[in-house]
Amino acid sequence: MNIITAILPALVILLFILNIFYNGNTVQSCLFFILCMLPFMDLKITKEAWGGFKMFDALCFYCLVFLLKDFTTINLKHRNNFYLLLFMALGIVVLLGGLLSEFPGKAYLNLVKIFPIFIFGRFLLTECFRDNLFHIKAIKALKISYLISLAFLAVQVVIGLKFTFYSELSPNTIDPVFHIVRYPGVFYDSQGHGQYLAMGSFLFLYPEPGRSRRNMYLNYLVFALAIIAINLAGSRSAFGGFVIGAVISFFIAAGRYRIMGAIALVAAGILFTTISIHSGVFDRAKNISDDLQFRQGLWTEAYQIADKHPWLGIGSGNYQNYVIRHNQNQYLEIESGQRIYFDQPENGYLKIMVELGFTGFGIFILFMLVPLVKGFKAAIVYNETKVAFLLASLVCWLVAFNTVYSIYDYRIFIVVVSMVVLIITYPENEYDEEDLADEPAYQLNETYEI
C-alpha cells in the first residue's frame, strides 16, 4: 500500500480542487468535502522532519486564507465567542508551557497544529448558526465518511492487515496473548478505530426529516453492522462507551425512536450471534484485571508528573520525551526486543493534565462540559429528544477517552468537534420539511439519503 499511500494525498487534493470548481469556493462546500472525505484527513503530506503536516492541516489553512472574511465574522446574536475565548486561553497555556518546557520545539509545533481544528470548528459553528439547514447536511456528510470506513474495513477483513494506509501498524492490532486480530480499518491502531466506529454509529439513529421508510431501515441496518465492526476493532473501552451512549439515547429519545433503536439492537444481536465473531472485545475480557493493574501503575505515575508541574504542565506533545528522560520504566518491549516508550499514560485526560497542567485540563473540561449541559437541557427541559443521539456520540467518546488518548488522530478529533458544534447549535436550528425541500442541496434523493 506504500505506493497508494503516496498517491492518495495528491488524489484528495485533486478532488478538493474539483469540488471547489463545481460547488464553489464557499464555507459549506469546503466543510462538506472535509466531512465526506474524513477517512483521508489524517494522511501525511510532509515528512516528520518537516513538521508531519497532514491533509486536514492543508485544507484548513487554505480555508483560512481564502475564506478569511467568513472566519472573522462575529455574530453577537448567538454569543458563540465563548469558545473563541477558550481557544485563546488554551493557546496561551500551550505557549507558556512550551517556554518553560524541557523540550520547547515540539510544544511550539503543537501550538501551530491546534490551529487547523480551531479553524474547522469555528467555520462549522458559524455556518450552522448562519444556515439552519447545514446542520442536517453535516450529519449526512459524516455518515458518508462512515460508510467509506466500513467499506474499507470489509475489504481489510477479506484481504488482511496488509490492506492499510500505513507502512507499519500499531502493535495492538495483534493480541499476543489470545492471538486475536484487532482490525484498525483506516486507522493506525485498533483503539482509535473502535472509538470512531462507536461514535459514528449513533448518527444512523438520528431521525432526519423527510426520510423514507426504506432508507430508515437501511440506517438501522448500518447501526447494527456498526456493532459488529466495533467488535472487529476489539476495543473494550469503545464498546463500553457505546453501551453507555446507547443507554443515554434510549432513555432520552422519544418513544418511537426507542422502539426503532431497540429493533436495531436486536438485529445487531442476531447478526453477531449468527456470524459468531470472536475478535477481541469479549475474548480479551479474560485478562481485564491484569490490564487494569498495569494501567493503574501508569496512571499513578502520570498524576505524579502532573503534580510536579501543576500549572502549565511539561509542554504539549512532550510526554514521551519526558518519560524517556525521567520515567524510563514506561515502555513496551515488542517481539524484536525493541523498546517503545509510551507517548501517553493510557488515559486521555491524564495526558492532557500532564502536558498542559491543571490549567489546560480545566479549559479542556469546559470545552466538553458546556455542550453536554446545553444538550441535556435541550433534551430534558425543551423536549428536543433528537439531540440524544448527538449526546450519545459525544458521551461515548468521553468514556472511551478515559483509557486512551485518541485525538492525536484528526479523524476522531473532527468527529468530536463536530458533535460539540452540532449539540451547541441544535436548539437554534429548527427546520421543517418544507424548508428542506426548498433547498436544492437537501433534496431527499438517492444521493443524500444515507
Long-range pairs for 381-385: beta carbons < 8 A, 24 or more residues apart: 382/427, 384/426, 384/427, 385/252, 385/253, 385/254, 385/257
Angle between helices 115-130 and 55-66 (to 10 degrees): 60
Domain assignment present for 390: yes
Domain assignment present for 130: no
Strand, helix or coil at 333? strand
Nearest to 262 by CA among 276, 249, 273, 274: 249
Domain assignment present for 153: yes
Strand, helix or coil at 175? strand
Domain assignment present for 237: yes
pLDDT (tens digit per residue) in 171-206: 778 765 666 788 999 999 999 999 999 999 999 988
Tally of domains in the chain:
1
- Work out the pLDDT band at 101, boundaries 50, 70, 90: confident
Asked if 66 and 24 touch (Cβ cutoff 8 Å), the reply is: no
Residues ≥6 apart with Cβ < 8 Å to 103: 314, 315, 318, 321, 322
pLDDT (tens digit per residue) in 108-119: 888 888 899 999
pLDDT at position 77, please?
A: 62
Asked if 450 and 143 touch (Cβ cutoff 8 Å), the reply is: yes
pLDDT at position 89, please?
A: 93
- Report CA-CA distances (Å) from 346 to 280, 283, 297: 18, 20, 10
More confident residue, 273 or 117: 117
pLDDT (tens digit per residue) in 374-394: 999 988 888 888 899 999 999
Domain assignment present for 253: yes
**pLDDT, the chain, mean:** 83
Asked if 194 and 33 touch (Cβ cutoff 8 Å), the reply is: no
Asked if 206 and 157 touch (Cβ cutoff 8 Å), the reply is: no
Strand, helix or coil at 255? helix
Query: Cα separation of 349 and 399, whole Å?
Result: 10
Asked if 347 and 402 touch (Cβ cutoff 8 Å), the reply is: yes
Domain assignment present for 140: no
- Work out the pLDDT band at 152, boundaries 50, 70, 90: very high
Torsion of CA 281, 285, 288, 290, to 10 degrees: -110
- Work out the pLDDT band at 331, boundaries 50, 70, 90: confident
Query: Cα separation of 236 and 399, whole Å?
Result: 11
- Work out the pLDDT band at 156, boundaries 50, 70, 90: very high
pLDDT (tens digit per residue) in 193-241: 999 999 999 999 888 777 777 888 899 889 988 988 998 888 888 988 9
pLDDT at position 445, please?
A: 37
Domain assignment present for 50: no
Domain assignment present for 41: no
Full residue range of the structural domain in which residue 431 is found: 81-109+145-285+346-442
Could you tell me the pTM of the whole model?
0.89
Lowest-pLDDT range of 351-365, 414-428, 429-443: 429-443
Nearest to 351 by CA among 425, 403, 397, 428: 403
Residue with cell 506504500: 2
Does the pLDDT at position 273 exceed 80? Answer: no
